[in-house]
Every structure is written in C-alpha cells, then in structure tokens.
Chain A
Amino acid sequence: MILSEELCIGCGECVVVCPGGAISVGADVACIDRDLCFECCVCHRWDGCPTHAFEPETSLPWPRSLRRLFSDPLALFEGTSVSGRGTEEMKTDDVSDRFAGDVLGISVDVGRPNVGTRFDEVERICAVLAEAGLRFAPDNPVTELMDDVRRGTLPEEIRDERVLSAVIEGLTDLWGLPPVLSALEKVAGNVDTVFSVGLIARTPGPDGIERLKSIARGARGCPRPSAKINLGLGKKSHGSSDCP
C-alpha cells in the first residue's frame, strides 16, 4: 500500500481502521509500516480519508504478493479462482462430492479472527497436522504453496510474510480425527497467533448436526453453537433459469 505524503494531512483517522495496526502518525503525516501491512486494501476502500491518500500498489513482487492474496477477499488466487483464501469446501459438496462417504474435513483458519499470522506460524501448524496424518486438500492455496505436502513445509522465502489469515484445509476420517485434533491442541500452546477450527462431514438427516457433534466430542473436540449447513439443493447440472 502506498500512502501519498503530498495528500496526507496527518489527521490520523485511519490509524484505527487498519486491521494490521500498520499505520501511525508521525510529525506531519501518517506512515505505513510495511512489515506490518497486510496489503488488505481496507485503508484504500475506507471512505473516511479526507484526501483519498491511500493507493494500492498495482503489482506486488513475490512473495509480498501473498499478503494481498491471503488478506484481500477481492483478490483471486490463481490456483483456485476462488476469492478469499480457501476452496469451496462443503459449500458445494452436494455437487462436488468432496465429502462423500466417510470423509471428514478439517479447516484451520490461522490468524482468524483479527490477529493475523506469518507463514512460519502456518507452517508450524501444517507440520504437526501432517505428522498427525492429515491429507491436505489439493486445491487449497496453502497446500499449493507447500514445497513438501507430506511434511507440510512451506518455502523459506515466504515464511516472514504477514497475512490476515491463511486457511489450512485437509481430509481425514473417523479414525484419523483424534490425532489431528490432539495435534491442534498441542500446537495451540506454541503459536504466536490464534486459529479457528471447523469440522466437516456429510451427515444427512434431521439428526445430522447432533451426529457430527458426537463425532467431534468423541475425538475430544469442543463444538461451538455455530454451524454452516449445506442443504443439498445443488445439482450436477442446474436448471437453466430464464431470469434475465
């Protein structure tokens, strides 16, 4: 992100708007700490800057470009063409069959909520998940960055890049779930950020959610009163709507 020193009047209104805490006000004008900046573009889109002094860099060099890809939901990840930082996961499972059979999905949103993370923390979590037997989802942006998917390692040159969040997605089954959740419990005390965990399963029927809660509790997971539910209305070939 570029802040125009010519335009900035140093009012400081933008300081609290920055999710990364990267903006401060010096003697006359604001400045951006490039190390803290997520390149999320919130300061640019916010309508409160009286002089519109923020302008995103049109082309960020590698690996800094990862900051925008993982922090600005309007940036598209080329590998998946999905805006945001993960796959469609269970949202289209009724069409994709991603979670057919006994497959269980795990999503670990590293840095979320509102803390952010660097890729060295992401790698630390990936490594313990790999050791616990999690199979990383193939079309997920974090997986695509890995230089060794079996070990969950990331390229050294990206490890210091700071992003708002990075979603690790993986697949396991009923027997593989306890070691995966146990690994997350252990690594939780060893990271300098937060991570939010989701458990995915195809559990049709009126008692589907209760069954998934039981699966989670059986693996020492602690379900929260929040769930995302695919209602199974999707079809491989949708009826073409004549809606203009």
Chain B
Amino acid sequence: MTHSLHRFAREDIFSHEGGEVPWDFVVMVMACQGQNDDGAEGGLRRALDILASRDPINLSDGEGSLFTGETTQSLRDAMVPTSYVAGVYSDPDDLSDVLEELKAADLGLSVVITGDPDDLQRPLSRVDLEAHTVNLSLGTHGDTEKLPRDEILGMALMCGHGLVAPGYIAAISGDVRKGLLDARAGAEKLAALCTCGIFNVAVAAALLGRDDGR
C-alpha cells in the first residue's frame, strides 16, 4: 500500500514555465492491525478532528473524502479501527501545526507524512520530530513511453491507486482551456474519483490552470 509515495515533487514540474505549484503534503494516521487497533476508532476520530482543524485541502478516512460526497462529520461517524485518517496540506505551517497537535495528543497511533524530504525538513524541525522509518521513492521504470505527459501525470499520481484516468484529466484540462470550467471546479471533478482522498485539489487546479495541452 504505497499509494502516496510516488507523487511528483514540486521540482518535477517546476522545470516548465507557467507559475508556481503549491506545496503538497499528505498526513496519514492509522492503527497497526492486530497490535493496537482494538478500540482505535476514538483516537482516529481525535486525529481526524486535528487534521480537520487546519484547513486541509482534502480529508478522508481511506474510503471517502470531502470531494466524494463526505463531510468531516460523516467521516467521523464512519470511523472504525481499521480506518486510516488522511489529510492533505499545501501550507508548511498548517503541516507543522497538525504534527504539533498530533504529538501533543499522544494517541499512540502511527503518523506518516509524505512529501519532498527537503520541503518536510522545516515543518519537522519546528515541532522537534524526526524520521523513525523512511520509504524513499526510487522512481518509475519499465516501458515509460506508456506514461502520459508530465502535467497530466503530475495530477494522475495524486490518486496513487490510479483511479483518475489520464484521458479524463486531459478532457477536464481541455474544458478548462476552453473556458467551460474554472480550474478549481475541474480539480474537484478529478478529486471526486479518488476514493482514498489524498488528491491535492490546490496542486491540480494550479496544473490545470497552466496546461496548454502540449
């Protein structure tokens, strides 16, 4: 289950002209099955409250998100010990605040963050947290000719399970270029297909806004 690992970093898509892309951080909180999951739903609800309090770009319980029709309350109500809570952020200060509160809450649940290690350094040091275990992306290999162009791939990768099809992204991007949709609305349509709820709508809106279709 490595669905957040291979997202594009900002530097991957900075090389193209067209303006800055927002930061992209994912925070996940979960219990370990068979070890500390018994009765974990209370802690997971507390984690959800903490994540929800800091302007998340997206919020989910692993099976639905703010863009698949859920609300913070419905996610809260559906929490079970095997759920994981995920929040997506584009502001390093929000990330720091979330981590500080999770640390102080001492829930005993595992907390995992995803992002560019260079971008994560400052938020982590601000709250005096450091790595315990690291999963490092070593890239994509094989017949990479099959991959879509970078702007499309950058969006597709934000649904790590691959549920947002490159063809759909290209169609939405086309609608944005034609003025049929604004970039934010287009990004929300894409996020609606990502059931695990870690699709960063702010990054997608930025990419849609500058995609010239080439």
Given A209-B136, A226-B116, answer yes or no on A47-B192 (Cβ-Cβ < 8 Å). Answer: yes
Q: Which label, helix, strand, loop or mixed, suits the secondary structure of the A interface? A: loop
If A194-B140, A196-B140, A230-B132 touch, does A238 touch B2 (CB 8 Å cutoff)? no
CA–CA, A222 and B139, complex, Å: 7
- B105 smallest CB distance to A (angstroms): 8
Return the CB mask of B172-214 against A: 1 if under 8 Å, else 0.
Answer: 0000000000000000000011011000000000000000000
Q: With an 8 A cutoff between CB atoms, is A213 at the interface?
A: yes
Say if the beta carbon of A202 comes within 8 Å of chain B: yes
**Chain A 142-178 residues near chain B, CB threshold 8 A:** 164-165, 167
Contact indicator per residue, chain B 143-183, by CB within 8 Å of chain A (1) or not (0): 11011100001001100111111111011000000000000
Chain B residues 87 to 134 lying within 8 A of chain A, measured CB to CB, are 99, 102-103, 105-118, 120, 124-125, 129-134
CB distance from B109 to the nearest CB of A (A): 6
B116 touches A91 (CB 8 A): no
B31 at the interface (CB under 8 A from A): yes
Q: What residues of chain B lie closer than 8 Å to A87, measured between beta carbons?
A: 1
Cα distance, A203 to B130, chains bound together (Å):
10
B143-A91 in contact (CB<8A): no
Contact A115 B141 (CB under 8 A): no
Q: Of A47, A185, A223, A241, which one neighbours B136 at CB under 8 angstroms?
A: A223
B79 to chain A, nearest CB (A): 10
B35 at the interface (CB under 8 A from A): yes
A50 within 8 A of B: no
Q: How far is the CB of B137 from chain A (nearest CB, A)?
A: 4
- Interface presence of A188 (CB below 8 A): yes
Kindly state the interface size class of chain A when it binds its partner: 35 or more
A199 touches B5 (CB 8 A): no
Binds B, one of A1-9, A55-63, A92-100: A92-100
B15-23, B40-48, B51-59: which lies at the A interface? B40-48
Are A82's CB and B1's CB within 8 A?
A: yes
A46 contacts across to B, CB distance below 8 A: 192-193
Question: Which A195-237 residues have C-beta < 8 A from chain B?
Answer: 195-206, 208-209, 212-213, 216, 221-237
A243 touches B46 (CB 8 A): yes
Q: List the A side residues contacting B2 at CB < 8 Å.
A: 86, 89, 107, 109, 167, 196, 198, 228
B110 touches A233 (CB 8 A): yes
Nearest chain B CB to A38 CB, angstrom units: 9
Knowing A225-B11, A238-B36, A243-B45 touch, does A196 contact B110 (C-beta < 8 A)? no
Taking a contact as CB atoms under 8 Å apart, the answer to whether A42 and B134 are in contact is no
Which of A74, A92, A226, A228 contacts B195, CB < 8 Å? A74
Q: List residues of B whose CB falls within 8 A of some A CB.
A: 1-9, 11-12, 28, 30-33, 35-36, 39-40, 42-43, 45-46, 49, 62-63, 68, 82, 84, 99, 102-103, 105-118, 120, 124-125, 129-144, 146-148, 153, 156-157, 160-168, 170-171, 192-193, 195-196
Please report A residues at the B interface, Cβ cutoff 8 Å: 15-19, 21, 40, 42, 45-47, 73-74, 81-96, 99, 105, 107, 109, 111-116, 164-165, 167, 181, 184-185, 188, 191-206, 208-209, 212-213, 216, 221-244
